[in-house]
Amino acid sequence: MTTTLQRPPSERPDFATELRDSRLPLWLPRAILLGAVAVGLALAFLSPLNIPQAVIIAWLLMWALPIASRIVEGSRKATDRTVTLLVTSAFGLALIPLGSILGLVISKGAPQLSADFFTFSMRNVVGEGGGIYHALIGTLLITAAATIISVPIGLFTAIYLVEYGAGNRLSRWITFLVDVMTGIPSIVAGLFAYALFVIFFGEGVRLGIGGAVALSVLMVPIVVRACEEMLKLVPNELREAAYALGVPKWRTVVKIVLPTAISGIVTGVTLSIARVIGETAPLLIIAGLTDSVNFNLFGERMATLPVFTYYSVKFPGVPPEASIDRGWGAALVLIMIVMLLNLVARAVSYFFSPKGER
């Protein structure tokens, strides 16, 4: 026996309306965005309101979209649009400090850059004039020394972790402690260098090499991490092929593994230099500040760009303008060095990585 359930035609669901809820037109989000931006621009330039106030008003106008969505589309879609607005605003919010910092440093620092600024030290300079030659030399020397200390230690540790350790107890400990080291505050690294050197040189010691040691404490974990990642990427087939040909392990590492990973290692080392070259706190503690050029890492105080910037701005003396301007100039030079190192790192990884991995 069969019964057919015949639904009366009037009760058939109307798919056209049920599946396609009423929706806001597709052009509306874009229109509201453009409208809000236009109003914001108009308020910023044509009314007495200042730029932050105009931005806030424009942002509030954008809430028209979630509100319209709640009325037309219902709460689920409205929540979605609200979150989209919030997430996009968060990104915009993050760009504000970046734009503000770069704009400010470039606009205030660029007028300071001149041949004199790069070739004069601060020796016997009162008021205007003077330059960052001594600080530039100090930064380059201390960072170079830190690199010379950190790269062999970091690279050999990475080789140990990848090639020899193979997850034994010592290598697990090293991995853990390298993680801990990445978390050491930079000022503690400076205090460590001071506490180390004070034992040999007595109280109040200030040495360029101390700054290099402090920077190394910060740099080694970064180098280990970068090199370890790169060595792990080297395919095991390459190593096995070398062993099969009777090549000793150390020659395999030197001739096969390292050349394969070299572009990644150079990139990692360059990025780690970029990370530590802007460090201020440890150098403030152990390298100090001087007005004269000092080429000797092992004697006397040594000026560096970050410390020079700090003192120029925090303790400008009277009148303050010239000193603060020099601070902006030094900050611009520092940022340019860091950005240049980042660019070099990217270029190396782009042009020298093994073929087929780009």
Partner 1 sequence: MTEREKSAARPVRRLGDRIFEGLSTSAGILILLTLLGVAIFLTIEGVPGITASPEELGSKTGGKGFFAYVWPLVFGTIWAALIALVIAVPVSIGVALYISHYAPPRLSSTLGYIVDLLAAVPSVVYGLWGLLFLSRELRPAYQWLAENLGFIPLFAGNDNGGVSSNSILTASLVLAVMILPIMTAICREIFLQTPRLHEEAALALGATRFEMVRMAVFPYARSGIVSASMLGLGRALGETMAVAMVLSASGVVTFNLIGSTNPSTIAANIALQFPEAFGLYTNVLIATGLVLFVITFAANFAARAIVERRKDFSGAN
Q: Which of residues 61-90 bind partner 1 (CB under 8 A)?
A: 76-77, 79-80, 83-84, 86-90
- When asked if residue 93 is in the footprint of partner 1 (CB under 8 A), the reply is yes
- When asked if residue 222 is in the footprint of partner 1 (CB under 8 A), the reply is no
Position among 24, 113, 187, 238 found at the interface with partner 1 (CB under 8 A): 187
Distance CA 116, CA 30 (A): 51
Minimum Å gap between C-beta 233 and partner 1 is: 17
In degrees and rounded to multiples of 5, residue 296 shows phi and psi of -100, 110
Minimum Å gap between C-beta 159 and partner 1 is: 5
Minimum Å gap between C-beta 250 and partner 1 is: 4
* Binding to partner 1 in span 281-300, by CB under 8 A: 281, 284-285, 288-289
Position among 152, 235, 259, 319 found at the interface with partner 1 (CB under 8 A): 152
Contacts of 35 (CB under 8 A, 6+ apart): 61
- When asked if residue 242 is in the footprint of partner 1 (CB under 8 A), the reply is no
Question: Between residues 1 and 95, which has the closer beta carbon with respect to partner 1?
Answer: 95
Position among 95, 115, 166, 318 found at the interface with partner 1 (CB under 8 A): 95
Q: Which DSSP string corresponds to 107-166?
A: HHHGGG-SHHHHH---TT--SS---SHHHHHHHHHHHHHHHHHHHHHHHHHHHIIIIIIT
Distance CA 315, CA 278 (A): 19
- When asked if residue 309 is in the footprint of partner 1 (CB under 8 A), the reply is yes
Cis amide bond preceding 235, omega within 30:
no
- When asked if residue 110 is in the footprint of partner 1 (CB under 8 A), the reply is no
- When asked if residue 314 is in the footprint of partner 1 (CB under 8 A), the reply is yes
Question: Between residues 163 and 291, which has the closer beta carbon with respect to partner 1?
Answer: 163
CA separation (Å) from 64 to 20, 59, 75, 85, 166? 22, 10, 14, 11, 59
